[in-house]
Structure 1
Amino acid sequence: MQKGAAGAGFIALGSLAGCSGGDSGEDGTPTGTETPTGDGPGTSGGLNPGSIVPAQAGAVVSVDMQAMLDDDDLRDVVNTALGELAKFGEGGEFPQDVESAIEMAREEADLDPTGFNEGLLFMEVESSGTDEEYAGVVMETDWSEDELIGFLESDGDSELEQSEYGGKTIYSAPDSDDGGMAVLSDGRYVIGPTEVIEDVIDVSNGDGDAIAGELATLYSDTTDGHMAFATVVPDDALTEEDFSTDEITIESVGQIEYMSGSVYKTDSAYGVETSMWAGDAASDLADDIEFALDAAARMEDTSDELATRIEDVEVETSGQTTTMSYEEDIEEVKSYAEEYVGELIGMLMLFGMSSGTTTV
């Protein structure tokens, strides 16, 4: 989530191919997403950055694994990909589908992978980008403390050492100063450097400050989904030159101070949204983005199909925040995924033949 990732919200709008984007409501939230239904109807709700992530962090990313596992449509896509890839395996090297992949992981690790419910990654953001020395992951799981510690110790050469901080148990490798893992409550754990672990414990005990302000608000306002993020945008991380071509210029992009977004699912579509907090420049940012989208759709080398997709991107402004959103029909997403998997497999076969490693 450095300079390039801070601008990923713009790129994310192209991650769903197709042309059946939904309309938006008056508040800029994609219609039909206020209470998503169907498979994987949102986050598991166990982890709230505003109550557990230390204020020093400037970026958070959450992944709702249970929503993904419960999403039958996503499972169909993954099964298609695994089925194609399995054709290249020998002796069961590749799993045939999601169920066999889960079973292989369960046998290998002696720990049920479906017990991982939600993960929340957070890190500090400095002017030069993210600070890898201040980063951690909070996990919400169905795993007991004994199950997880047993798994970790089975993968090492010795028992983990125990210590305590703020009434919580911290496990770490013997003679290691690199941090470890702390048990926050039943099924909830934090992994990271010692300083990060202690800060999280302080926040969870009510003895430390959590992230707040625009960063926390933007995250909480994202549409519940499979993935969500919010980040501070470092000064000069986004510049006009980064988002300009000979035909298009987004002059106000440098005014973006925070970004957030999510990938979500409704009962009929997958969607992606990106919100940008730009203060008093929010309206100018929306105008610039709409002009850029219109210009891109009208370019000579833009196909009619792509132009239709671009036109389906919704741009809304609410207060000091501009939000872009796009929705794609589930069946279209599945058909594109199958097509791209086929193309990928074809490329692998051509590569194998050219390198002399595959016989057809």
Structure 2
Amino acid sequence: MFDIAGELHRWLTEGRAFAVATVVSVGGSAPRGPGAALAVDSEGTAIGSVSGGCVEGAVYELCGRALEDGLTRVERFGYSDEDAFAVGLTCGGVIDIMVTPVGAQAPVRQVLRTALSSVVQGGPTALARVVEGPADLLGGALLVRPDGTYEGGLGGLPELDRAVAGEAGALLDAGRTGTVALAADGSYCPGGLTLLVESSVPPPRMIVFGAIDFAAALVRVGKFLGHHVTVCDARPVFATRARFPEADEIVVDWPHRYLRSTATDARTVLCVLTHEAKFDVPLLEVALGLPVAFVGAMGSRRTHADRERRLREAGVSERDLARLRSPIGLDLGARTPEETALSIAAEIVAARRGGTGVPLTDTGTPIHHDTRDTAAVA
């Protein structure tokens, strides 16, 4: 539900009663992943989406029913339903959805408000809810923070809350949303539990080196994809707010020096658009030694060959060189800055999701790749 955190937090602040439907798990070609949510308030207003349109009507009705009877329920939709073309996923997928009522007096209300407030403010947060287990545990929620502290509860069992907090904390560390099964060993509850853990972490960074016109277009695309975008250039006349109004940060510094000093992680994307050896080579020496998600550099094939030669002379290993995506971008025949930014973004998405970049018309593989991504619900 973190994908509609802002709207839900406003509803809670206004005192509205609502029901929220959350995707628990998907199979096949389902358009939305775990954590995607649709909410309906007592006036019938709806926000969000769980399927891109395939089952929205049926889920809307389930939310209304949950508001009436106050019961949490999990329903499955998919091509196996007898009325598949009426409410199922006609694209061939299966989707499990949990619908939770959040009335004015619901015990879970304060926990959700705290969790959603943290998400809105950009704080790392995990929310664990029971999706399969004893009926009296459905509808409970446990908010877990990075330091291991937690708030809320699942059935008033301290040992269960501690176990769930540990599992949710592990997914929060990885920035992942998904289901977790607790063993049916009787220590928590007979038969075990299945939990949905939704994680929200700060958006992944995109650092664009080189304050050129192509960078301006890439900044816009990077923001559209949900990145926190920084532009870095050593030339103050070019690295200005007027040229990059949509960037989150503009840094005037030598690129390699800035990269050494700034925080990066396994989700960070580095795009080197300077294509000038005095900037590129020292910058890529640093970049290729970092455990980041993507390192790409702009330039012609001749520039790329010269760049590789210089990097080898600087001592960069063949293994690290193999990580460099250069010339950056997929072959779209791009010419304009906007088209070039699109080609770069397409390669970043393909690398992140495990895609090939081949037209779907020419493939017989599943459209939605089953890869785990640490950027998820931003």
TM-score when scaled to structure 1?
Answer: 0.25
Structure with bigger helix share is 1
Structure label with greater radius of gyration: 2
Relative contact order, higher structure (CA 8 A, sep 6+): 1
TM-score when scaled to structure 2?
Answer: 0.24
